[in-house]
Amino acid sequence: MLSAHFPFSGSDPDELCTHILAGKVSFSDKFWKDVSKDAIDLVIKMLDANPKTRISASKALEHKWFNILKSTECSEECDDKVDKSVLEMLMDYKCESLFKKSTLYLLVKMVKGEGFCKLKKEFKKMDLNKDGMISFDELKSAYVQAGIKVSDKDINSLIAKLDFVGNQKVNYTEFLVATIDRTTIKKPDLIKDLFKQFDRNRNDTIEQEDIVRELQTLGRKVTKSELSGIMKHYDKSGKGRIEYPVFEAMIMG
């Protein structure tokens, strides 16, 4: 597990068995160069062929490598306060139009997991009951712990801005839409791929039924009024469709 490589080697099964029985361990630099000296020391002691001198399970757990590991885990767990800059980004998030918010939501889902480690940790700190959602109480608690004064009205307003699905909570993707570096998703190839996802008929335009369908896949029903507003804003040709240059400009803007 430490090196993704077995500690014993051999050109054939017989030679391998001979090395195992003799306790001849191989720590090739190619596979073990990034493993600490303390970890290697523990492995050597556990693989001692002599049962009388081999380290016991209880003594192994007292080895200094485990103490280093525990110390690292503790420092991460004990730092349970949410990064103040993340909370400020959430509060500064500008409410996008429904259509733009949906495209950002989809783009984040397309790239989610690529370099979002820090933001994922911050989300987990806020998600106190570990249900994958940030509730009103959890969001307010994060601000209180960070020493940022907010009213109930502020929290409700923030949730309303972030909540794309419409369940009065904030899921991980909604959280990312407000906090990621937008340059991560504002990439021509990604935007083109997303346009194609809407344009199932391959006629180089997005029509009303395309918007309804894609938003429904995200669990968001679109009202006639909302759909009318989207087309009024983004249908520059007046032909009931959204063309790629307008779509790209909306996301890049």
pLDDT at 13: 65
Instruction: State the Cα torsion 119-180-84-158 to the nearest 10°.
Output: -110
**107, 247 Cβ separation under 8 angstroms:** no
pLDDT at 35: 74
Report the half-sphere exposure of 91 (CA within 13 A, side-chain side). 17
Q: Identify the helix (H) or strand (E) that includes residue 212.
A: helix 208-217
pLDDT at 74: 45
**243, 236 Cβ separation under 8 angstroms:** yes
Below-70 pLDDT ranges, the chain: 1-13, 16, 26-34, 67-79, 112-115
